[in-house]
Amino acid sequence: MQKEKNIKVGIGFATGRKSFKKVLRTYIHTWCESGLVGNKGVSLNIFVAYDTNYNKTKITDFTNINPELLKQIDSSEFIGNSNIREEIDYLISENVIDSDEAQLIFGKGYAAKRNTVLYYAIKNNMDYLVFLDDDEYPMAVTSTRDTAIWGGQEVLTNHIKYIAGADITHGHHCGYISPIPYMDFNDKMTEGDFKSFIEAISNDIVNWDTLKNVMKKGGVTYADTKILTSDEAIEVEEINHSKFISGANLCINLTNPSRIFPFYNPPGARGEDTFLATCLSDRKVLRVPCYTFHDGFSTYNYLLEGVLPIRLKFIKADTEQIITRFYKACIGWIRYKPLFIYITQQSSYEEKIKEMRQQLVETLPKICEYFGRRDFSKVLDELEKYHKNVEKHYGEFIETQRVWAKIMEHYSKDK
């Protein structure tokens, strides 16, 4: 009889891109190379919640994995709508939650896909769950010389090393993290105008000086060699009622289900990691010394084929694709900011919204003219819409946690 492995690690993807299979292949090869696959004390288990509507994909774009690759891991679950429906029916039949409550956890949106992965990992008795993104690769790039210097990263190994002593661990990111491209400022839009616009739509964690520096480098964030050569994990401090985490290169300790929070974002918005971060006041969060490379503009898929560019592309606001990505980011940011302010700065909420509104009124005409797109004006409309609904969204945020706690209580009996 085969001895059960000591540590059960779940690896979760919430995905909608065809490139997912290439990314998974790269990670599995990394786990083989690092010795994790051959480690008899560690069980590796994949949980993939896929969305065929995101990029008009087929189920087989996610499920048709090379059998030789799957032999390297202990188990794999590919979770589509029918699977989620079965789980909802089960929870309702067990009188754990009702159908309305199920929609809060497993409904539409990115947070729901993350909750699905989290749920499956807990149901399958995983000890830890590492979230990876389908546009992030296990490598780091530095700019310490005239050309880019690349190095592989043992992402999973780092999280396993530190997660037993924490509730959450998260790593670092390099590459194209920011959706803000390089721009030449002019009379139509000055640096001051753009700074005011970004401060209005982004959260308080975004520092203009840091962002400006990334813009100057063509949108590229390089890895810090001090972190790359460090063995130290640093505890994340709470700033403005929030402990910063990232949505991927993220590990959650599942050994005590009562300490786990669900993901949430307002309808049509992102920020599910940001809202989770506001729940972590009495949780231990560690920043671990490993990087992933974020291919934010989907232009470096050939990295997964072993091609390492000696210089990274300068991302300028001179193509429709790049401007559209920036526009979508602006909409995503403004949709979640009212709730973020409401949660973290409720006493000054109205004052903050008034300030944001004034900044947008002053800067949006310049933004529209600079990019030659009138649709940027919709940013103000979205602010008003999500401001109007902020108490409703806050209620959903709290209710999601209440419903999730009932599900965790149900599964705590098995722990």
Give me the CATH number covering residue 69. 3.90.550
Residue 103 in any domain: the answer is: yes
d(CA 331, CA 90) in angstroms, rounded, equals 36
Given a contact cutoff of 8 angstroms between Cβ atoms, the answer to whether 203 and 337 are in contact is yes
Rounded to two decimals, what is the model's pTM? Answer: 0.95
Is residue 349 in a domain?
Answer: no
Helix/strand/coil (H/E/C) assignment for every residue in 176-188: CCCCCCECCCCCC
* Structural domain contains residue 386: no
Burial class (CB in 10 A: 0-12, 13-18, 19+), 134: buried
Give, in degrees to the nearest 5, the angle at Cα 133 between 127 and 137: 105
Q: Strand 285-294 and strand 234-235: pairing?
A: antiparallel
Least Cα distance to 337 among 322, 364, 361, 357 occurs for 357
Q: Residue 126 is part of which domain span?
A: 7-179+217-314+395-412
| Helix segments in 305-344, DSSP class H | 320-344
In a domain, 190, yes or no: no
Q: Answer yes or no: is 129 within a domain.
A: yes
- Residue 141: name the closest of 72, 221, 213, 82 by CA: 221
The count of domains in the chain is: 1
Q: Is 187 within a domain? A: no
Output the CA angle 17-19-21, nearest 5 degrees: 110
pLDDT in tens, the chain (415 residues): 445 679 999 999 999 888 899 999 999 999 999 999 999 999 999 999 998 887 788 898 898 999 999 999 999 999 999 999 999 999 999 999 999 999 999 998 889 999 999 999 999 999 999 999 999 999 999 998 889 999 999 999 999 999 999 999 999 999 998 888 888 899 889 999 999 999 999 876 666 777 888 888 888 999 999 999 999 999 999 998 999 999 999 999 999 999 999 999 999 998 999 999 999 999 999 999 999 999 988 888 889 988 999 999 888 888 898 999 999 999 999 999 999 999 999 999 999 999 999 999 999 999 999 999 999 999 999 999 999 999 999 999 999 999 999 999 998 865 5
The answer to the question of residue 54 being in a domain is: yes
| Helix or strand holding residue 77 (H, E) | strand 75-79
Residue 153 lies in a domain: yes
